[in-house]
Chains A and B, each alone.
Chain A
């Protein structure tokens, strides 16, 4: 593509030739021919963008607020010089450059390689993709340029931050809520042998007891003891209303941090953790333990976005058959805009579940972005307090989580309460 400069030069050259012909002025014609010749000669040395790019990331998964080291290795595999090549690595706008630059101007000779290194800070959780690489090549005199993409992308997940909450749970005056990992004499995911049973379709092949099969001729599977005290259910409210506040501080953001921290805490204790995220629909991760489950939970939390308005009762009704008997249920929700909250929690508590509600104070989050008149604020706070008190009346442990309070401190409230 011709640049503006080339167009001006070309048009100027042709105009000079034409005016020179009209005026019988050969100096104009010579200038005009020279300008056009300059363009013609430069058209021989336009660059190219046939380059090989390899992007290396310091990590595929990282936690919110961590730094990501990126390296682009750019090689010119062709026999031609690239001429002036501008390389721009497209970075998600949520990420901030901390050091270096995702842009470089190069002029690579045949077979030459160079590296672009930069560091990104990831202040927001989510599923991201770095790339593609935008390329613009031009000749040295900036007459012809061409833009193109190298469709090379690197995916990464930014998990919500995981806070240390163990101390907060340990330093309580009351006995521990859950006693920690001991094997239960019930079948389930675990390591210790529990019993043998007949194979049923759907059982994984790896648990088939081949020796028993050889002996009896029947497919027999090994069952393991369940390696957990209990199943912990975490319900995260990701409805549209949970976006109230700033991008970095809103009920959903702090809620994901709380859910991740709780999951980490319980999985470390070898408990089984289930996660349910409800927005316009319900996403449910069955209870399980181990690193794989931890990764699944973090990945799921990384991808939550505020949308929809699913009522809590619809969630508890849908999950009622999956809740283990007497298992604790953590509900992380601002408890705004949902009239079914009280009946849902009443039902859960009635079925013998330990219900802990971690409720980021949406009124206070809203105050971070907009000015609320004092009277309105007082009224809203009072309404909220009444709601929380009503929920506590049904046996739920309620934590009113203020924006400036750390998670570990907020969780202490449930122990003290």
Chain B
């Protein structure tokens, strides 16, 4: 019996953190999450990033940082002593149109996050030094010139004075704060608008669940705010110039006549949100599991092979499930048409007319209730069609064919 029990063996491939960071499945999950995050943000800006009246002077709470930065710039230009924002427009995307407004900030954010991630791999001592250096520089940049000039001014004039409200403009040292403060305000505006991307990227590459949650949370808050501010009741009270989504769903002309054009971006945003959420969290969950394994298990080929299995299946299911969720949602929103068609078979009866009338009204309860009924029907299909068995059968067949070819 004792001979039957083998000790753990050691394979070439291991589950050490350094190896995991370069593992293609982990990288694929991280890249999937990153791409879906970027795509989601761009899609959101296309959907929620426009105002009703677009000209150089108008501002609205749309998801477009250039509107706020332009408004700020105009305010500064109109001052008696004109000022300008320190970060150049080519870097913030101000002045560009369409998606061009976001590419450069997204690129800069990606570079900064990459740097931050690389820093996270360094020793704690180096990390602390860099963090302290950045903080020190930020403080020095903010108040350094102001404090130095003020002190020197007091020393040379042999007088104690406040650095503002002086008749002699050379003694108003507080003006040295304006430049740095403008930079920080500009950075704050950018961080506010790009919070889902910054937080999401830090979460994906820095392996932080809380940051991914922040990304999701901020996205939902933006969507909620837009929905609230574009709500008819609010729009009629406060004029915000926010471009609201059309109230009525048009004809289904997209995806082979399956969905209306107004629905496509929303559907894609929700799908990308789910892909980002699942890929981002999954990466952390799997790496965490592998990290916690004892040394002997990290080298055990059985653990490595099963870890690969888990990752491969996750990747396959991410693709499959995303496709089916999109399809099911699209079909669900189209389901009312099917019911109308079915009901029209009984044309002439009072009941069929009533049903048809209520369902034909777009954006009524009919569309959504029928969609929910369809989704419940799809969920119930698992009791009729054995999906896992079918997929298992296909998998087994593929494996047999592969084995035969080898």
Question: Footprint of B on A, CB under 8 Å?
Answer: 17, 20-21, 23-31, 33-48, 56-60, 69-71, 78-81, 83-84, 97, 99-101, 104-111, 114-119, 139-142
Contacts and interface: CB of A to CB of B under 8 A. Distances in A.
A43 B382 contact: yes
Contacts of B329: 30, 33-34, 37
Nearest to A29: B368
B245 interface: yes
A81 B378 contact: no
B129 to A, nearest CB: 37
A168 to B, nearest CB: 31
Closest 8 CB pairs of A and B: A40-B379, A34-B270, A80-B388, A44-B387, A69-B5, A30-B266, A107-B309, A106-B306
A100 B296 contact: yes
A78 B363 CA distance: 46
B144 interface: no
B232 A24 contact: yes
Between A100, A116, A139, the greatest number of chain B beta carbons within 10 A of the residue's beta carbon is seen for A100
B247 interface: yes
Contacts of A48: 388
A21 B365 CA distance: 7
B262 A101 contact: no
B354 interface: no
Nearest to B244: A25
A166 to B, nearest CB: 27
Nearest to A18: B368
Interface in B144-174: none
A41 B317 CA distance: 11
Interface string B272-287: 0010001000100100
Given A27-B223, A45-B317, A109-B309, A58 B5 contact: yes
Given A26-B262, A36-B375, A109-B309, A71 B388 contact: no
Interface in B290-322: 293-294, 296-297, 300, 302-303, 305-307, 309-310, 313-314, 317-318, 321
A206 B266 CA distance: 88
Contact of B328 (A26, A41, A71, A110): A41
7 contacts: A27-B223, A36-B372, A41-B321, A45-B317, A45-B388, A56-B5, A114-B305
Nearest to B321: A41
A78 B296 contact: no
Contacts of B381: 44
Nearest to B309: A107
Interface string B382-406: 1000011101110110010000000
Given A33-B375, A100-B297, A119-B7, A110 B395 contact: yes
Contacts of A100: 8, 294, 296-297, 300
Interface size band for B = 35 or more
B310 A84 contact: yes
A69 B2 contact: yes
Contacts of B328: 37, 40-41
Nearest to B233: A23
A100 B10 CA distance: 12
Given A41-B324, A41-B325, A81-B395, A27 B278 contact: no
Given A26-B249, A40-B376, A141-B321, A80 B392 contact: yes
Contacts of A25: 227, 231, 245
B5 A57 contact: yes
Given A33-B375, A114-B305, A24 B266 contact: no
A308 to B, nearest CB: 36
A30 B223 CA distance: 13
Contact of A60 (B1, B262, B278): B1
Contacts, number: 191
Contacts of B321: 38, 41-42, 45, 141
B302 A114 contact: yes
A81 B313 contact: yes
Contacts of A43: 379, 382
Given A30-B266, A37-B329, A57 B1 contact: yes
B124 interface: no
B71 interface: no
Given A26-B263, A44-B388, A114-B302, 19 more contacts: A17-B372, A25-B227, A40-B378, A44-B382, A44-B387, A59-B1, A79-B392, A79-B393, A80-B388, A80-B389, A84-B310, A99-B7, A100-B300, A104-B297, A107-B309, A107-B310, A109-B399, A117-B7, A117-B300
Nearest to A84: B310
A33 B375 CA distance: 8
Contacts of B375: 33, 36-37, 40
A97 B310 CA distance: 25
B12 interface: no
B333 interface: yes
Contact of A24 (B363, B393, B399): B363
Contacts of B389: 79-80
A116 B302 contact: yes
B262 A58 contact: no
A110 B382 contact: no
A247 B4 CA distance: 33
Nearest to B397: A110
Given A33-B375, A44-B387, A45-B317, A105 B306 contact: yes
Residue in B271, B293, B368, B387 with the greatest tally of chain A CB atoms within 10 Å = B368
A280 to B, nearest CB: 36
Given A25-B227, A27-B227, A56 B1 contact: yes
Contacts of B303: 104
Given A33-B368, A36-B372, A45-B387, A83 B313 contact: yes
Contact of A109 (B8, B249, B289, B392): B392
B332 A33 contact: yes
A115 B302 contact: yes
Contacts of A116: 302
A44 to B, nearest CB: 4
Given A27-B245, A107-B313, A140-B282, A38 B378 contact: no
A283 B122 CA distance: 65
A79 B7 CA distance: 30
B371 interface: yes
B114 interface: no
A117 B266 contact: no
B43 interface: no
B267 interface: yes
Contacts of B263: 26, 30
